[in-house]
Structure 1
Amino acid sequence: MDPNVFIIPARVIHNWDFKRYPVSKKSALFLLEFQHHPWIDMKKLNPKIYCGVSDMAQLQELRIQLNFLRAYIFTCREPVIEELQKRVWPREYLYDHVHLYTISDLAQIPNSSLALQLEKVVSFAKSHVLDCWLCSQKGFICEVCKDSKILYPFETSSTYRCDECSSVFHAKCQNESLPCPKCKRRQERTSDTSLVDARHS
Protein backbone atom coordinates (compact mmCIF):
# COMPACT_ATOMS: atom_id res chain seq x y z
CA MET A 1 0.00 0.00 0.00
CA ASP A 2 1.30 3.44 -0.93
CA PRO A 3 2.41 5.12 2.33
CA ASN A 4 1.62 8.54 0.88
CA VAL A 5 -2.11 8.01 0.46
CA PHE A 6 -4.65 8.14 3.28
CA ILE A 7 -8.32 7.91 4.11
CA ILE A 8 -9.45 11.52 4.50
CA PRO A 9 -11.66 11.91 7.61
CA ALA A 10 -13.68 14.80 6.14
CA ARG A 11 -14.52 12.75 3.04
CA VAL A 12 -15.72 9.88 5.20
CA ILE A 13 -17.75 12.11 7.51
CA HIS A 14 -19.46 14.14 4.79
CA ASN A 15 -19.36 11.93 1.67
CA TRP A 16 -18.95 8.41 3.08
CA ASP A 17 -15.90 8.14 0.85
CA PHE A 18 -13.26 5.65 2.03
CA LYS A 19 -10.92 6.00 -0.93
CA ARG A 20 -7.31 6.80 -0.16
CA TYR A 21 -5.94 10.07 -1.49
CA PRO A 22 -2.47 11.60 -1.76
CA VAL A 23 -1.85 14.21 0.93
CA SER A 24 0.88 16.68 1.77
CA LYS A 25 3.70 15.66 4.08
CA LYS A 26 2.28 17.88 6.81
CA SER A 27 -1.17 16.32 6.49
CA ALA A 28 0.33 12.84 6.45
CA LEU A 29 2.17 13.53 9.71
CA PHE A 30 -1.05 14.79 11.29
CA LEU A 31 -3.08 11.77 10.16
CA LEU A 32 -0.42 9.37 11.43
CA GLU A 33 0.04 11.15 14.74
CA PHE A 34 -3.66 11.38 15.51
CA GLN A 35 -4.96 8.17 13.94
CA HIS A 36 -5.70 6.66 17.36
CA HIS A 37 -6.98 9.83 19.05
CA PRO A 38 -10.78 10.08 19.48
CA TRP A 39 -11.18 13.61 18.13
CA ILE A 40 -13.89 12.98 15.53
CA ASP A 41 -17.25 13.90 17.07
CA MET A 42 -19.94 12.70 14.67
CA LYS A 43 -22.73 14.46 16.52
CA LYS A 44 -21.04 17.81 15.99
CA LEU A 45 -19.58 17.21 12.54
CA ASN A 46 -22.45 15.41 10.81
CA PRO A 47 -25.32 14.25 13.06
CA LYS A 48 -27.44 13.33 10.02
CA ILE A 49 -25.02 10.53 9.20
CA TYR A 50 -26.82 8.27 11.68
CA CYS A 51 -30.01 8.56 9.65
CA GLY A 52 -28.42 8.35 6.22
CA VAL A 53 -25.85 5.58 6.67
CA SER A 54 -26.95 2.19 8.00
CA ASP A 55 -23.44 1.27 9.19
CA MET A 56 -23.34 4.37 11.38
CA ALA A 57 -26.85 3.75 12.67
CA GLN A 58 -25.75 0.26 13.72
CA LEU A 59 -22.61 1.57 15.40
CA GLN A 60 -24.59 4.25 17.20
CA GLU A 61 -27.02 1.64 18.51
CA LEU A 62 -24.15 -0.52 19.78
CA ARG A 63 -22.37 2.44 21.36
CA ILE A 64 -25.53 3.53 23.19
CA GLN A 65 -26.11 -0.01 24.45
CA LEU A 66 -22.50 -0.23 25.62
CA ASN A 67 -22.78 3.12 27.38
CA PHE A 68 -25.80 1.89 29.35
CA LEU A 69 -24.12 -1.44 30.09
CA ARG A 70 -21.00 0.34 31.32
CA ALA A 71 -23.10 2.13 33.94
CA TYR A 72 -24.29 -1.23 35.27
CA ILE A 73 -20.93 -2.98 35.24
CA PHE A 74 -19.04 -0.08 36.81
CA THR A 75 -21.21 -0.47 39.92
CA CYS A 76 -20.51 -4.20 40.11
CA ARG A 77 -17.53 -6.18 41.35
CA GLU A 78 -13.98 -5.13 40.47
CA PRO A 79 -13.11 -8.24 38.38
CA VAL A 80 -16.05 -7.59 36.05
CA ILE A 81 -15.10 -3.93 35.67
CA GLU A 82 -11.55 -4.94 34.83
CA GLU A 83 -12.77 -7.48 32.29
CA LEU A 84 -14.86 -4.88 30.47
CA GLN A 85 -11.96 -2.44 30.48
CA LYS A 86 -9.64 -5.14 29.14
CA ARG A 87 -12.02 -5.96 26.30
CA VAL A 88 -12.23 -2.32 25.23
CA TRP A 89 -8.72 -1.07 26.05
CA PRO A 90 -7.23 1.20 24.84
CA ARG A 91 -10.47 2.58 23.40
CA GLU A 92 -12.45 3.39 26.54
CA TYR A 93 -14.07 6.27 24.69
CA LEU A 94 -16.18 3.66 22.90
CA TYR A 95 -18.35 3.36 26.00
CA ASP A 96 -17.68 6.76 27.57
CA HIS A 97 -18.61 8.98 24.62
CA VAL A 98 -21.02 7.48 22.11
CA HIS A 99 -20.21 9.92 19.28
CA LEU A 100 -16.39 9.97 19.33
CA TYR A 101 -14.33 8.13 16.71
CA THR A 102 -10.70 7.90 15.68
CA ILE A 103 -9.30 7.79 12.17
CA SER A 104 -8.46 4.13 12.71
CA ASP A 105 -12.08 3.50 13.78
CA LEU A 106 -13.32 4.96 10.50
CA ALA A 107 -11.02 2.63 8.59
CA GLN A 108 -12.63 -0.35 10.34
CA ILE A 109 -16.18 0.52 9.31
CA PRO A 110 -16.32 -0.74 5.69
CA ASN A 111 -15.30 -4.30 6.58
CA SER A 112 -17.55 -4.29 9.69
CA SER A 113 -14.65 -5.10 12.01
CA LEU A 114 -15.51 -2.24 14.37
CA ALA A 115 -19.14 -3.35 14.57
CA LEU A 116 -18.07 -6.95 15.25
CA GLN A 117 -15.77 -5.84 18.06
CA LEU A 118 -18.54 -3.79 19.64
CA GLU A 119 -21.04 -6.63 19.28
CA LYS A 120 -18.72 -8.95 21.19
CA VAL A 121 -18.25 -6.48 24.03
CA VAL A 122 -21.98 -5.72 24.19
CA SER A 123 -22.76 -9.44 24.25
CA PHE A 124 -20.32 -10.01 27.12
CA ALA A 125 -21.66 -7.07 29.12
CA LYS A 126 -25.31 -7.92 28.49
CA SER A 127 -24.81 -11.54 29.54
CA HIS A 128 -23.17 -10.40 32.75
CA VAL A 129 -25.90 -7.91 33.67
CA LEU A 130 -28.72 -10.37 33.04
CA ASP A 131 -26.98 -13.18 34.94
CA CYS A 132 -25.57 -11.12 37.81
CA TRP A 133 -27.69 -11.02 40.95
CA LEU A 134 -26.60 -7.46 41.75
CA CYS A 135 -26.83 -5.95 38.26
CA SER A 136 -30.06 -7.67 37.27
CA GLN A 137 -31.84 -6.06 40.23
CA LYS A 138 -31.36 -2.61 38.71
CA GLY A 139 -34.02 -2.95 36.04
CA PHE A 140 -37.32 -1.16 35.57
CA ILE A 141 -41.01 -2.01 35.44
CA CYS A 142 -43.00 -0.23 32.75
CA GLU A 143 -45.27 2.18 34.63
CA VAL A 144 -47.69 2.34 31.72
CA CYS A 145 -48.68 -1.31 31.28
CA LYS A 146 -47.38 -2.58 34.66
CA ASP A 147 -46.07 -5.77 33.04
CA SER A 148 -43.90 -7.65 35.53
CA LYS A 149 -41.10 -8.33 33.04
CA ILE A 150 -37.99 -6.37 33.99
CA LEU A 151 -36.79 -3.80 31.47
CA TYR A 152 -33.27 -2.48 30.97
CA PRO A 153 -32.20 0.70 29.14
CA PHE A 154 -29.68 -1.20 27.01
CA GLU A 155 -32.57 -3.06 25.37
CA THR A 156 -32.77 -0.14 22.98
CA SER A 157 -34.84 -1.83 20.27
CA SER A 158 -37.78 -2.54 22.58
CA THR A 159 -37.64 0.17 25.25
CA TYR A 160 -37.94 3.92 25.61
CA ARG A 161 -35.92 5.83 28.22
CA CYS A 162 -37.00 9.22 29.49
CA ASP A 163 -34.18 11.73 29.12
CA GLU A 164 -35.37 13.69 32.14
CA CYS A 165 -35.84 11.05 34.85
CA SER A 166 -34.15 8.02 33.21
CA SER A 167 -37.21 5.80 33.71
CA VAL A 168 -37.56 2.97 31.20
CA PHE A 169 -40.77 1.90 29.46
CA HIS A 170 -41.79 -0.40 26.65
CA ALA A 171 -41.35 1.44 23.36
CA LYS A 172 -44.92 0.45 22.48
CA CYS A 173 -46.20 2.07 25.70
CA GLN A 174 -44.26 5.32 25.79
CA ASN A 175 -42.39 7.63 23.46
CA GLU A 176 -41.03 11.17 23.42
CA SER A 177 -44.33 12.58 22.16
CA LEU A 178 -46.16 11.38 25.29
CA PRO A 179 -45.70 12.88 28.77
CA CYS A 180 -43.60 10.69 31.04
CA PRO A 181 -45.78 9.41 33.94
CA LYS A 182 -42.98 9.78 36.48
CA CYS A 183 -42.06 13.29 35.36
CA LYS A 184 -45.75 14.21 35.39
CA ARG A 185 -46.08 13.07 39.01
CA ARG A 186 -43.00 15.07 39.96
CA GLN A 187 -44.40 18.18 38.31
CA GLU A 188 -47.73 17.72 40.07
CA ARG A 189 -46.00 17.32 43.45
CA THR A 190 -43.90 20.41 42.79
CA SER A 191 -47.01 22.37 41.84
CA ASP A 192 -48.84 21.19 44.97
CA THR A 193 -45.88 22.13 47.16
CA SER A 194 -45.63 25.55 45.55
CA LEU A 195 -49.35 26.10 46.09
CA VAL A 196 -49.09 25.17 49.77
CA ASP A 197 -46.08 27.44 50.23
CA ALA A 198 -47.92 30.29 48.56
CA ARG A 199 -50.88 29.87 50.90
CA HIS A 200 -48.64 30.01 53.97
CA SER A 201 -46.50 32.92 52.83
Structure 2
Amino acid sequence: MEWLKEILKGLENPQELEKKIAEGIGKNFVARGDFNALNNTKKSLETQLLQLQEGLHKEGDFKQRLEELEHKIALEKEEALKKEEEAAQEVYLKNRFNQVIGENQWRDELTEKAVFAEFKTAVTMEVNKGKEDKEIFEELTKDKNYFLNPNRPLEMMGMGRVSMTSVEENKMRALMGLSLKN
Protein backbone atom coordinates (compact mmCIF):
# COMPACT_ATOMS: atom_id res chain seq x y z
CA MET A 1 0.00 0.00 0.00
CA GLU A 2 3.04 2.26 0.13
CA TRP A 3 2.85 2.86 -3.59
CA LEU A 4 -0.69 4.15 -3.11
CA LYS A 5 0.48 6.70 -0.50
CA GLU A 6 2.99 8.15 -2.96
CA ILE A 7 0.30 8.60 -5.61
CA LEU A 8 -2.11 10.24 -3.16
CA LYS A 9 0.47 12.73 -1.61
CA GLY A 10 -0.57 15.70 -3.63
CA LEU A 11 -4.32 15.29 -3.12
CA GLU A 12 -6.60 16.62 -0.38
CA ASN A 13 -7.42 14.19 2.42
CA PRO A 14 -5.09 11.48 1.25
CA GLN A 15 -5.68 9.38 4.34
CA GLU A 16 -9.40 9.36 3.90
CA LEU A 17 -9.05 8.53 0.22
CA GLU A 18 -6.60 5.73 1.03
CA LYS A 19 -9.04 4.35 3.56
CA LYS A 20 -11.90 4.31 1.01
CA ILE A 21 -9.71 2.64 -1.61
CA ALA A 22 -8.55 0.00 0.89
CA GLU A 23 -12.16 -0.66 1.91
CA GLY A 24 -13.17 -0.94 -1.75
CA ILE A 25 -10.37 -3.37 -2.44
CA GLY A 26 -11.21 -5.48 0.61
CA LYS A 27 -14.89 -5.36 -0.13
CA ASN A 28 -14.57 -7.42 -3.31
CA PHE A 29 -11.77 -9.58 -1.97
CA VAL A 30 -12.60 -13.29 -1.74
CA ALA A 31 -10.38 -15.74 0.07
CA ARG A 32 -8.69 -18.35 -2.14
CA GLY A 33 -10.39 -21.24 -0.27
CA ASP A 34 -13.80 -19.67 -0.77
CA PHE A 35 -13.00 -19.04 -4.42
CA ASN A 36 -11.97 -22.66 -4.97
CA ALA A 37 -15.08 -23.94 -3.17
CA LEU A 38 -17.34 -21.72 -5.29
CA ASN A 39 -15.49 -22.74 -8.45
CA ASN A 40 -15.88 -26.46 -7.61
CA THR A 41 -19.57 -25.95 -6.86
CA LYS A 42 -19.98 -24.16 -10.19
CA LYS A 43 -18.26 -27.02 -12.06
CA SER A 44 -20.38 -29.66 -10.32
CA LEU A 45 -23.56 -27.73 -11.12
CA GLU A 46 -22.49 -27.46 -14.78
CA THR A 47 -21.86 -31.23 -14.82
CA GLN A 48 -25.29 -31.87 -13.29
CA LEU A 49 -26.87 -29.59 -15.87
CA LEU A 50 -25.19 -31.53 -18.71
CA GLN A 51 -26.32 -34.82 -17.17
CA LEU A 52 -29.88 -33.58 -16.89
CA GLN A 53 -29.83 -32.41 -20.50
CA GLU A 54 -28.50 -35.81 -21.59
CA GLY A 55 -31.16 -37.44 -19.41
CA LEU A 56 -33.84 -35.47 -21.22
CA HIS A 57 -32.40 -36.60 -24.54
CA LYS A 58 -32.25 -40.21 -23.31
CA GLU A 59 -35.80 -39.89 -21.96
CA GLY A 60 -36.93 -38.86 -25.43
CA ASP A 61 -35.14 -41.92 -26.86
CA PHE A 62 -36.72 -44.06 -24.16
CA LYS A 63 -40.17 -42.76 -25.01
CA GLN A 64 -39.55 -43.47 -28.70
CA ARG A 65 -38.36 -47.02 -27.93
CA LEU A 66 -41.36 -47.52 -25.64
CA GLU A 67 -43.73 -46.44 -28.42
CA GLU A 68 -41.96 -48.78 -30.87
CA LEU A 69 -42.29 -51.67 -28.41
CA GLU A 70 -45.97 -50.92 -27.83
CA HIS A 71 -46.53 -50.89 -31.60
CA LYS A 72 -44.62 -54.17 -31.98
CA ILE A 73 -46.65 -55.76 -29.16
CA ALA A 74 -49.89 -54.63 -30.80
CA LEU A 75 -48.79 -56.17 -34.12
CA GLU A 76 -47.83 -59.42 -32.42
CA LYS A 77 -51.21 -59.54 -30.64
CA GLU A 78 -52.99 -59.03 -33.96
CA GLU A 79 -50.88 -61.78 -35.52
CA ALA A 80 -51.59 -64.13 -32.59
CA LEU A 81 -55.34 -63.48 -32.89
CA LYS A 82 -55.16 -64.08 -36.63
CA LYS A 83 -53.31 -67.37 -36.06
CA GLU A 84 -55.88 -68.43 -33.46
CA GLU A 85 -58.70 -67.70 -35.90
CA GLU A 86 -56.90 -69.62 -38.66
CA ALA A 87 -56.32 -72.56 -36.30
CA ALA A 88 -59.99 -72.56 -35.27
CA GLN A 89 -61.02 -72.45 -38.95
CA GLU A 90 -58.59 -75.29 -39.69
CA VAL A 91 -60.08 -77.43 -36.90
CA TYR A 92 -63.61 -76.66 -38.10
CA LEU A 93 -62.77 -77.64 -41.70
CA LYS A 94 -60.89 -80.77 -40.54
CA ASN A 95 -63.99 -81.90 -38.61
CA ARG A 96 -66.17 -81.34 -41.67
CA PHE A 97 -63.63 -83.22 -43.80
CA ASN A 98 -63.48 -86.18 -41.38
CA GLN A 99 -67.28 -86.43 -41.33
CA VAL A 100 -67.36 -86.61 -45.13
CA ILE A 101 -64.65 -89.29 -45.32
CA GLY A 102 -66.66 -91.72 -43.26
CA GLU A 103 -65.09 -95.18 -43.06
CA ASN A 104 -62.82 -94.80 -46.07
CA GLN A 105 -59.13 -95.28 -45.35
CA TRP A 106 -56.51 -93.24 -47.14
CA ARG A 107 -53.86 -94.88 -49.26
CA ASP A 108 -51.24 -92.82 -47.37
CA GLU A 109 -50.96 -89.72 -45.19
CA LEU A 110 -49.63 -87.53 -47.99
CA THR A 111 -52.73 -88.23 -50.08
CA GLU A 112 -54.97 -87.32 -47.15
CA LYS A 113 -53.15 -84.00 -46.65
CA ALA A 114 -53.33 -83.18 -50.36
CA VAL A 115 -57.05 -83.93 -50.61
CA PHE A 116 -57.69 -81.93 -47.41
CA ALA A 117 -55.87 -78.93 -48.93
CA GLU A 118 -58.01 -79.25 -52.08
CA PHE A 119 -61.13 -79.59 -49.92
CA LYS A 120 -60.31 -76.39 -47.98
CA THR A 121 -59.86 -74.50 -51.23
CA ALA A 122 -62.98 -75.99 -52.82
CA VAL A 123 -65.20 -75.14 -49.82
CA THR A 124 -64.37 -71.43 -50.12
CA MET A 125 -64.85 -71.24 -53.90
CA GLU A 126 -67.90 -69.39 -55.28
CA VAL A 127 -68.66 -72.30 -57.61
CA ASN A 128 -69.27 -74.59 -54.65
CA LYS A 129 -71.50 -72.25 -52.62
CA GLY A 130 -74.65 -74.07 -51.58
CA LYS A 131 -73.21 -77.54 -52.22
CA GLU A 132 -73.00 -80.14 -49.50
CA ASP A 133 -69.58 -81.19 -48.26
CA LYS A 134 -70.25 -84.72 -49.50
CA GLU A 135 -70.82 -83.44 -53.07
CA ILE A 136 -67.62 -81.41 -53.02
CA PHE A 137 -65.66 -84.36 -51.63
CA GLU A 138 -67.04 -86.75 -54.24
CA GLU A 139 -66.06 -84.34 -57.02
CA LEU A 140 -62.52 -84.20 -55.64
CA THR A 141 -62.11 -87.98 -55.26
CA LYS A 142 -64.18 -89.23 -58.20
CA ASP A 143 -62.28 -91.75 -60.37
CA LYS A 144 -59.09 -91.32 -58.34
CA ASN A 145 -57.26 -94.02 -56.44
CA TYR A 146 -56.99 -92.18 -53.11
CA PHE A 147 -58.35 -94.86 -50.78
CA LEU A 148 -57.12 -98.31 -49.83
CA ASN A 149 -58.87 -100.93 -51.94
CA PRO A 150 -60.92 -103.11 -49.59
CA ASN A 151 -61.46 -105.70 -52.36
CA ARG A 152 -57.78 -106.40 -53.04
CA PRO A 153 -57.05 -109.85 -54.47
CA LEU A 154 -55.76 -112.26 -51.86
CA GLU A 155 -52.50 -114.11 -52.18
CA MET A 156 -53.19 -117.76 -52.98
CA MET A 157 -52.32 -120.14 -50.21
CA GLY A 158 -50.15 -123.13 -50.86
CA MET A 159 -47.88 -121.43 -53.35
CA GLY A 160 -45.10 -121.01 -50.85
CA ARG A 161 -43.36 -117.71 -50.79
CA VAL A 162 -44.04 -116.86 -54.39
CA SER A 163 -46.35 -113.90 -54.79
CA MET A 164 -48.83 -113.53 -57.63
CA THR A 165 -46.73 -110.80 -59.17
CA SER A 166 -43.69 -113.11 -59.29
CA VAL A 167 -45.75 -115.84 -60.98
CA GLU A 168 -47.06 -113.38 -63.56
CA GLU A 169 -43.58 -111.95 -64.12
CA ASN A 170 -42.15 -115.45 -64.66
CA LYS A 171 -44.89 -116.18 -67.24
CA MET A 172 -43.92 -113.04 -69.13
CA ARG A 173 -40.21 -113.89 -68.93
CA ALA A 174 -40.94 -117.41 -70.26
CA LEU A 175 -42.87 -115.94 -73.22
CA MET A 176 -39.92 -113.65 -74.00
CA GLY A 177 -37.44 -116.48 -73.69
CA LEU A 178 -35.69 -115.09 -70.60
CA SER A 179 -34.60 -117.05 -67.52
CA LEU A 180 -37.09 -117.29 -64.66
CA LYS A 181 -36.72 -115.43 -61.36
CA ASN A 182 -36.95 -117.29 -58.05
Please, what TM-score do these two structures have when normalized by structure 1?
Answer: 0.19
Which of the two has greater strand per residue? 1
**Greater RCO, CA 8 A, separation 6+:** 1
Which of the two has greater helix per residue? 2
* Rg comparison, structure with higher value: 2
